[in-house]
Amino acid sequence: SLRCSQNSNLCCRKDFYVDFRDIGWNDWIIKPEGYQINYCVGQCPLHVAGSPGMASSFHTAVFNLVKANNMQASGHSCCVPTRRRPLSVLYFDRNSNIVKTDIPDMIVDACGCS
């Protein structure tokens, strides 16, 4: 769940802010003015598979499986979101009604290896 930096290619969270004015959507989206469309990117070599899992025991369990089954040949671990949060949006619909809703799991807060 580290933020990406230039000197590592391990699984990390890449931050990116989309400003609705830049995409010409600020006329119908009242709030917020933009949002973080973060994403997960980077390598997940087997020795970090399952980290940072939801619980440290998760990583240990996965690592033991890898050692016990010598999974070098098959299977691989992916860099995925491990924690996300909702985005509250206030916007005009096509009838000029104002609509407020919370979109669940919209913003990636943390990444990790499956």
Partner 1 sequence: AAAEPRCPSCPAGAERWLLEEVAKKQLLEKLRLRDRPRLAHAVPRAAVARALRRLQAGGARRSPGGPGEEEEEEEQSYEIISFAETDLTSPSSLGLQFQFSQAQDQDLRILQAQLWLYLRVPRASLTLRIFLAAEAGAGAGGNRTLLGERQLSTTGSGWRSFPLLPALQSFFSGQSRTLRLELESRGGGSDVSAQLNASWSHQPFLVAKVKVREPEHRVAKR
Residue 84 contacts residue 105 (beta carbons within 8 Å): yes
Tokens at residue 54, please? 């939801």
Cα-based distances in Å from 59 to 17, 83, 86, 107? 31, 16, 27, 24
Binding of residue 39 to partner 1 (CB under 8 A): yes
Binding of residue 53 to partner 1 (CB under 8 A): no
List 14, 53, 71, 114, residue binding partner 1 (CB under 8 A): 14
Binding of residue 41 to partner 1 (CB under 8 A): yes
Which x/- pattern over 65-104 shows residues binding partner 1 (rule: CB under 8 A)? -------------xxx--------xxxxxxxxxxxxxxxx
Question: Exposure pattern of 7-37 as b/e (b: 16+ CB <10 Å)?
Answer: eeeebbbeeeeeebeeeeeeeebeeeeebbe
Instruction: Please identify, among the stretches 3-11, 51-59, 63-71, the one whose residues bind partner 1 according to the rule CB under 8 A.
Output: 3-11
- Paired strand residues for 39: 14
Residues in the site for partner 1, rule: CB under 8 A?
Answer: 4, 6, 9, 14, 16, 18, 22-23, 25, 27-28, 30, 35, 37, 39-42, 78-80, 89-104, 106
